[in-house]
């Protein structure tokens, strides 16, 4: 039997219905919900031949660990995404774009990072096994379907993985608020991996030492830093902007 996970919330369940309805085993909908949102979900599920089971709120609380499920959850097959980092980089070629997270343990931050990664065409999100939250129901909900479309690859040794990426021709760029080079002055072409640390601690020293370049995000206001998902969005947007204006040759 294939691995399964519980996802919940209307965004996450609707996204999975649209992307891969065949991977949904069952949808659990709170029986007391008779509003338009619930009816729309039921209609979409019928169109995609997905089974909807009316349940009470207590059953949903149990399935989701008392999370804010909005009255809907689903048991889904874990998407068969490629989790071979070498293969991902090789297949992507000169356009390879990775997001490496060092120390992100908050599921809301990881979910938001996956959502941003999906939006900007990141080929994989990479994180160390011992400093990562993993894909949880909360992550899936916040990611709004991106946890099912972006490979999330956990590795044993981040420093070694960064060395191997360098050997494969991937340029490693880390973010540092004290870096001399501005994000807008960095050249973001060719195979590239962005490395971001969690707010507070930031990147570990060894991770920083394995970066080819450090850049800072210019901040014009009184706020000194952004959380990791916001920073990822800014860096990936600038990468996409530069690549569109200077296509890889």
Domains of the chain listed by start with CATH number: 4-77 (3.30.1330.30), 85-245 (3.40.1280.10)
What per-residue confidence (pLDDT) applies to 1? 38
pTM score: 0.76
What per-residue confidence (pLDDT) applies to 144? 80
Tokens of 179: 């870096």
Residue 127 DSSP one-character state? E
Could you read off the pLDDT of 192-222 as tens digits, one per residue? 999 999 866 778 899 999 999 999 999 887 7
What per-residue confidence (pLDDT) applies to 217? 93
Residues facing 175 on adjacent strands:
215
Local structure of 150: helix, strand or coil = coil
Burial class (CB in 10 A: 0-12, 13-18, 19+), 249: exposed
Residues 40, 46, 47: CA angle, nearest 5 degrees = 90
Q: Is the dihedral of CA 65, 68, 72, 76 positive or negative?
A: negative
Residue 198 DSSP one-character state? B
Tokens of 62: 């149990």
What per-residue confidence (pLDDT) applies to 51? 95
What per-residue confidence (pLDDT) applies to 3? 79
Residues facing 213 on adjacent strands:
173
Q: How many residues can be counted in the chain?
A: 249
Residue pair 30/51 in contact (Cβ under 8 Å)? The answer is: no
Which residue ranges of the chain lie beneath pLDDT 70? 1-2, 79-82, 199-200, 246-249
């Amino acid at each position: 039997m294939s691995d399964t996970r519980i996802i919940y919330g209307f965004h996450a369940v609707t996204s999975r219905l649209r992307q891969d309805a065949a991977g949904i085993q069952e949808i659990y909908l709170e029986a007391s919900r008779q509003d338009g949102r619930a009816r729309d979900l039921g209609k979409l599920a019928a169109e995609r031949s997905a089974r909807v089971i009316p349940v009470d709120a207590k059953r949903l609380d149990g399935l989701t660990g008392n999370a804010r499920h909005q009255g809907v959850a689903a048991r889904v097959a874990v998407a068969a995404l490629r989790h071979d980092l070498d293969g991902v980089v090789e297949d992507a070629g000169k356009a390879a774009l990775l997001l490496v997270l060092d120390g992100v343990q908050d599921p809301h931050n990881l979910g938001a990072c996956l959502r941003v990664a999906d939006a900007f065409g990141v080929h994989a999100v990479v994180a160390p096994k011992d400093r990562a939250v993993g894909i949880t129901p909360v992550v899936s909900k916040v990611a709004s379907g991106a946890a099912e479309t972006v490979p999330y690859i956990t590795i044993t040794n981040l420093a070694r993985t960064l060395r191997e990426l360098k050997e494969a021709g991937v340029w490693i760029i880390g973010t540092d608020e004290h870096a001399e080079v501005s994000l807008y002055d960095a050249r973001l072409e060719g195979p590239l991996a962005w490395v971001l640390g969690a707010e507070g601690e930031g990147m570990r020293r060894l991770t920083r030492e394995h970066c080819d370049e450090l850049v800072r995000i210019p901040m014009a206001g009184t706020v000194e830093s952004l959380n990791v998902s916001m920073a990822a969005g800014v860096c990936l947007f600038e990468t996409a902007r530069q690549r569109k204006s200077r296509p890889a040759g």
